Amino acid sequence: MKKSLVLAMAMALGVTASAYAANPFSDVPAGHWAYDAVNKLAAEGVVTGYPDGTFGGDKLMTRYEMAQIVAKAMAKGANVDKLAAEFADELDSLGVRVANLEKKADNVKITGQVRFSYRDVDGDKTSHQGRLRTRLFVNGAINEDWAYTGRFENNQYYDGADTDAGYSDAAGDDQVKFNWAYVTGRVGGVKVEAGRQDFTNADVVDITGDGVKLAYGSDWQVKGWAFKGTSDIEDYFEKEDGESGMKSDDRVYVAAVEGAFGALDTAVRYYKADTVNENEIVEVALATEVAEDLTLRASWFNGTIDNAAEKAVNGDDADTNGWLVGLSYGAAKASEVGSWGVYANYSDRPYATYLLPTNFSGYAVKPGDLVAGDGYEGYEVGADVTLAKNIVAGVKYFDYESREGTKDAQTLWSQLIFTF
């Protein structure tokens, strides 16, 4: 490094030599012409020397090495405009490398959710259970058009786990499941989500499965799903005789058109399930905001089951039409402390009009053996509130009975959710 360059860099930092301790470099002793300047640069962290403790002032320096020193000086607030102009290309190269590293670091993001819940069941089946569910989500950008999502999940169960009430039989589970792994992107104008993921239209099906989702359009969308459930699905559909109404290799197909007529949100969906019951379901769902934050919704369902055993129970003339009405106000938003929401739904649902709705897959207990009955009817109410940022508490109450009126179940569900 030339004498003028060392002195210019040190003067640009605008500090005096007396502010620093003894020079750390053995080859720049006190009295050396560069002593003060090198001391300033070393104290500011602009130059570091070599591992053997020498400064190496007589060694040749590449333009890239010099650009690194200029960059450090600029970071300290030094006025080195002329040097920055001289090494502009090298600084630009250094900047590109740093930007690329930062971009790669942002490519993968990990978020999570911890939910503690308690469920108390009364009716023809009684039980109670606490559950601690931990989920970690991994999101990675593949390129500008495609991304990857994965999910790890662990569940810990406490007190009264009761498989008869639809619970897991685990009192505590040390197993971590990797139950999401899918990619999202576009092929032309079609959005594609392919892999293991949740397939959820809450009033008919809420299943983790392996398959693909397709969607086309913006204001109005045409959608198509094709998937099969994971092995866990057989537990939800198990009958009293030990058989399951849906196997893990059974296929489900969904076609839908969704959009809005003015203020009226509209969805028409068709479900075809290649299960033992050969389900076919049509759903028409409507929702509108009748006042600020107050939403009214209604759905009609028609279902058929082509299964001799089920027909023997329900008869050829079993009711195939179901309906649901609901009212909700507000919503608890995790980012807004004090935000809250309440809702109420009433349902009358023959067995043929659903596969596995969210209320049964996630919260409530089915009244009796509905798989061999004629469905359920009843109501649910709930409320949520954001206690602190990313901390939401909620409570739900379900009161269902079989449509024949022979069995019933009341479920009180409470939860506390932390997101990060």
CA-based nearest residue to 398, from 379, 414, 416, 373: 379
Joined tokens for residue 23: 């020079």
Looking at every residue in the chain, the average pLDDT score rounds to: 82
Letter for the amino acid at 312? A
pLDDT of 115 > 70? The answer is: yes
The residue whose two tokens read 């690329």 is 100
Q: Is the confidence at residue 135, as pLDDT, over 70?
A: yes
| Confidence (pLDDT) at 234 | 58
Q: Which pLDDT score, from 0 to 100, does residue 3 have?
A: 47
Quote the pLDDT of residue 279: 85
106 has a pLDDT exceeding 80: no
pLDDT in tens, 180-191: 999 999 999 999
> Span 316-345, mean pLDDT?
91
The structure tokens listed for 101 are: 């590293």
pLDDT score at 254: 98
The pLDDT assigned to 282 comes to 97
pLDDT at 60 over 90: no
d(CA 376, CA 36): 87
> Phi-psi category of 177—alpha, beta or left, where left has phi over 0 and alpha has psi -120 to 50?
beta
Lowest mean pLDDT among 54-68, 207-221, 287-301: 54-68
What percentage of the chain exceeds 70 in pLDDT? 77
Q: pLDDT per residue over 230-251, tens digit each?
A: 866 655 555 444 444 567 778 9
Instruction: Say whether pLDDT at 19 is over 70.
Output: no
Least confident of 103-117, 147-161, 232-246: 232-246
119, burial (CB in 10 Å: exposed 0-12, middle 13-18, buried 19+): buried
pLDDT of residue 124 exceeding 60, the answer is yes
Residue 110: name the closest of 60, 72, 148, 80 by CA.
Answer: 148
Residue-range domains of the chain with CATH: 3-86 (no CATH), 108-419 (2.40.160.10)
State the Cα–Cα distance between residues 11 and 34, nearest whole angstrom: 12
**Predicted TM-score of the model (pTM):** 0.72
Say how far apart CA 252 and CA 282 lie, in whole Å.
14
- Alpha-carbon distance of 298 to 296, in angstroms, equals 7
**pLDDT, position 285:** 98
The pLDDT, as a whole number, for residue 55 is 77
For residues 95-115, average pLDDT: 70
- 263 vs 173, more confident: 263
* Residue 175: pLDDT band with limits 50, 70, 90: confident
Q: Give the model's pLDDT for residue 385.
A: 98
Helices (H), 287-384: 308-314, 358
CB 290 within 8 A of CB 263: no
Please report the pLDDT score of residue 243 as a whole number: 45
pLDDT of residue 163: 45
> pLDDT at residue 161 above 70?
no
pLDDT for position 298? 98
**Phi, then psi, of 100 in degrees rounded to 5:** -65, -40
39-55 in b/e form (b: 16+ CB < 10 A) is bbbbbbebbebeeeeeb
Range ranked top by mean pLDDT from 31-35, 206-210, 353-357, 414-418: 414-418
